[in-house]
Amino acid sequence: MSHSRQALVVHPAAPDMEESHRTALSECIDAALTCAQACTTGADACLEEPEVAALRQAMRAQQNCAAICSASAQILSRFGSDFGPTPASVLRALDDLSTLCEDACRVHAGAYPHCRVTAEACARVRAAIVALFAAV
């Protein structure tokens, strides 16, 4: 069980949440945190490549994706009884920026393994978002 999942289980508001929602929420948080790390490392790896200028768009996308993933994980982790439903706008922004990042990194995935890793992390976030919307 991930730390995100454990935190959601022991949260005082946990009994108010359906199990399927709690599972989908924890998986989305975990995917966002993993993606933030992959994007941060991916952008740094791009800086080390000899053709760094060709990777500029991917690096910016990775930096933006890392930022929205981190912020989204924080927001999604706050679900006390007065919070209300998961803000759809947060999930839409996360989906939009992770899509842009995945697309930008897929262009370079064949030549740069770190771009492939980032694109795959973005795809996992997007799948977790779909599952979370389905659970609410």
CA distance linking residue 111 with residue 109, whole number of Å: 6
- For residue 26, the model assigns a pLDDT of 92
- The model scores a pTM over 0.85: yes
Mean pLDDT, all residues of the chain:
91
CA dist 76 to 20, 27, 32, 33, 129, Å? Answer: 15, 11, 10, 11, 11
pLDDT in tens, 57-111: 999 999 999 999 999 999 998 876 555 666 788 999 999 999 999 999 999 999 9
Q: Is the pLDDT of residue 50 over 90?
A: yes
Residue 55 per-residue DSSP state: G
Class of domain 18-135 as given by CATH: mainly alpha
